[in-house]
């Protein structure tokens, strides 16, 4: 491909994050643009940055095969009043490394990472590290690895091998996640709906009206119009139990006539809906 126009790609950093690995794939394989990289320290900051600069691309994680959806992503996409939309998806395998300044496992008595990453390596930690190891939270795995630069040799981080290389640290152990089949799905964000490919997905959020059975009626509309749902999740809508916003993924594109008919017929059943994006389905795993 000839790379011409320069665009911004904004993603969850710092350098060496899993999101950067997804962004690298998108830059090298899915686009014919040259990209200027902008790294942010939270998912919300990525969403806000894309919203403020139409034409920019964002990359954030949305679902892990073990933990389920990334609540920070879905809650912020649902809540936002912006025009940010999902423009694509990228699935990559997650392989956690134990990283430190020293390669002496016996020295390690503090471990730092994103709580989800620590939870995914509990068996390794319990079998190989100090019984009373202190677990320190970091906002991301790559932030955890970066923090090691200013910390003594008794700290280890859980993160990517890429982050270990970038920050000149030692990899004590590779692929330490308890479940070896650990995948994360990332989405790209933008301000323009990609063209229909015939193998697309649409993500919407909606809240139902108070009518009993409204959710079932909505799902039935999808079925009657031959639209397969691929995901449904309830997120708390207000601070009252029993009041939820639904996040729904289905097969099809917003330009498909059966999708448009379904959304039209939903009108009496909902309080609001927001199209979060129509985008090509990810057909394969990358890396």
Sign of CA dihedral 231, 232, 235, 238: positive
User: Per CB under 8 A, does 179 bind its own copies?
Assistant: yes
Q: Write out the DSSP string of 127-169.
A: HHS-TTPEEEE-SSHHHHHHHGGGS-TTEEEEE-HHHHHHTT-
Least distance from C-beta 262 to its own copies, angstroms? 12
User: Per CB under 8 A, does 242 bind its own copies?
Assistant: yes
Q: Under rule CB under 8 A, which residues in 201-220 are in contact with its own copies?
A: 212-213, 215-217, 219-220
CB neighbour list of residue 253: distance below 8 Å, 6 or more residues apart: 196, 197, 200, 202, 259, 278
Least distance from C-beta 220 to its own copies, angstroms? 6
Angle at 223 between CA 219 and CA 225, to 5 degrees: 115
**Distance from C-alpha of 30 to C-alpha of 24, rounded to nearest angstrom:** 10
Least distance from C-beta 169 to its own copies, angstroms? 19
State the helix-helix crossing angle for 214-224 and 257-266, rounded to 10 degrees.
160
CB under 8 A: which stretch of 16-24, 30-38, 100-108, 231-239 binds its own copies?
Answer: 231-239
Cα 213 to chain centroid distance, Å, stands at: 31
Distances 231 to 32, 63, 158, 234, 246 between C-alpha atoms, Å? 31, 11, 30, 10, 10
Least distance from C-beta 118 to its own copies, angstroms? 7
- Size of interface with its own copies, in residues (CB under 8 A): 42
User: Per CB under 8 A, does 171 bind its own copies?
Assistant: no
Tokens of 26: 């998108």
Among residues 17 and 245, whose Cβ is nearest to its own copies? 245
User: Per CB under 8 A, does 136 bind its own copies?
Assistant: yes
Among residues 107 and 135, whose Cβ is nearest to its own copies? 135
User: Per CB under 8 A, does 124 bind its own copies?
Assistant: no
Angle at 144 between CA 141 and CA 145, to 5 degrees: 90
CB contact at 8 A, 185 and 62:
yes
Residue with tokens 């119009």: 225
Q: Under rule CB under 8 A, which residues in 61-80 are in contact with its own copies?
A: 63, 65-68, 71
Site string for its own copies, 85-114 (x = CB under 8 A): ------x-----------------------
Site string for its own copies, 38-57 (x = CB under 8 A): --------------------
Residues that bind its own copies in the complex, under the rule CB under 8 A: 63, 65-68, 71, 91, 115, 118, 134-138, 179, 181-183, 185, 212-213, 215-217, 219-220, 222-223, 228-236, 239-242, 244
């Amino acid at each position: 491909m000839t790379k011409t126009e320069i665009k911004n790609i904004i993603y969850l950093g710092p350098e060496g994050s899993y999101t950067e690995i997804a962004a690298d794939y998108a830059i090298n394989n899915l686009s014919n643009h040259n990209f200027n990289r902008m790294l942010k320290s939270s998912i919300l900051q990525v969403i806000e940055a894309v919203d403020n600069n139409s034409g920019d691309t964002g990359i954030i994680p949305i679902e892990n095969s073990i933990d389920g959806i990334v609540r920070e992503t879905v809650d912020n996409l649902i809540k936002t009043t912006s025009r940010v939309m999902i423009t694509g998806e990228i699935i990559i395998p997650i392989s956690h490394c134990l990283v430190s300044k020293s390669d002496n496992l016996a020295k390690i008595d503090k471990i730092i990472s994103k709580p989800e990453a620590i939870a995914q390596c509990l068996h390794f930690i319990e079998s190989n590290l100090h019984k009373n190891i202190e677990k320190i939270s970091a906002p991301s795995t790559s932030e955890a690895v970066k923090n090691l630069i200013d910390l003594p040799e008794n700290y280890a981080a859980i993160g990517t091998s890429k982050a270990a290389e970038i920050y000149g640290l030692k990899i004590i152990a590779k692929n330490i996640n308890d479940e070896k089949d650990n995948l994360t799905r990332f989405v790209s964000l933008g301000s323009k709906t990609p063209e229909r490919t015939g193998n697309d997905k649409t993500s919407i959020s909606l809240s139902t009206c108070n009518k009993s059975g409204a959710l079932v009626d909505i799902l039935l509309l999808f079925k009657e119009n031959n639209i397969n749902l691929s995901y449904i999740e309830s997120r708390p809508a207000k601070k009252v139990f029993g009041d939820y916003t639904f996040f729904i993924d289905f097969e099809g594109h917003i330009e498909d006539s059966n999708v448009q008919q379904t959304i039209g017929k939903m009108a009496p059943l909902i309080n609001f809906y927001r199209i979060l994006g129509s985008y090509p389905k990810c057909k394969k795993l990358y890396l």
